[in-house]
Amino acid sequence: MSELTDFRKLKDDFFKTDHQSPLDSNEQKSFTGLKYYPEDPSLRYELLLDNMKEPEPIIMATSTGDEQDYMHVGQIRFKVKGQEAILQVYVSVDGGEYFIPFVDATAPSETYGAGRYLEPGDLGGGKLRVDFNLAYNPYCAYNDRWSCPVPPRANRIAVRIEAGEKKYHE
């Protein structure tokens, strides 16, 4: 098994058995696993973060009509099957990890229509590890009691990112 396969199995186990699962107890009973694209090493990147000179505060609307505060810290550029794409990178105002909410051309037919999330790793030296195989649905895709940031317009891209989680509900 690959590291990604192990990660996905652990996630499925969490969704099925943990009391903090985004699924309600009835769904947990019948849950058989999330749907994923096959692993694609070509959608795993080490990218330069094009930092903004001064990070800018941004307010993201959420799925429940609330708002969450982030800092827009820069952007990444990459190619998918020869097509260039640019995504904006954020950090919560409370600090923490880099955050990339996005909607690509697989939505809404194959992936969650409101978008997916990535949390790229900091490799140091201004580089990020961006692995779209780890792209995941926000918890509001499974249960509307969750409030999830909606990807900003700047992170709605025309390329297909056929990696990570697919949509849960048809």
Tokens of 145: 């009691």
Mean pLDDT (whole number) for 81-107: 94
Tokens of 155: 């992170």
pLDDT digits (tens, 9 = 90+) for 17-27: 999 999 999 99
Among residues 154, 128, 134, 170, which one has the least CA distance to residue 70?
A: 154
Among residues 74, 66, 83, 53, which one has the least CA distance to residue 160?
A: 83
Cα separation values, 83 from 13, 131, 158, Å: 36, 17, 9
Give, in degrees to the nearest 5, the angle at Cα 143 between 31 and 11.
Answer: 45
Among residues 56, 43, 59, 38, which one has the least CA distance to residue 118?
A: 43
Average pLDDT, the chain: 95
- Spatial separation of the C-alpha atoms in residues 79 and 67, rounded to whole Å: 31
pLDDT digits (tens, 9 = 90+) for 51-84: 999 999 999 999 999 999 999 999 999 999 999 9
Q: What is the reported pTM?
A: 0.94
Predicted pLDDT of residue 96: 81
Q: Is the peptide bond before 120 cis (omega within 30 degrees of 0)?
A: no
Mean pLDDT (whole number) for 102-121: 97
pLDDT digits (tens, 9 = 90+) for 24-52: 999 999 999 999 999 999 999 999 999 99
Tokens of 107: 């939505």
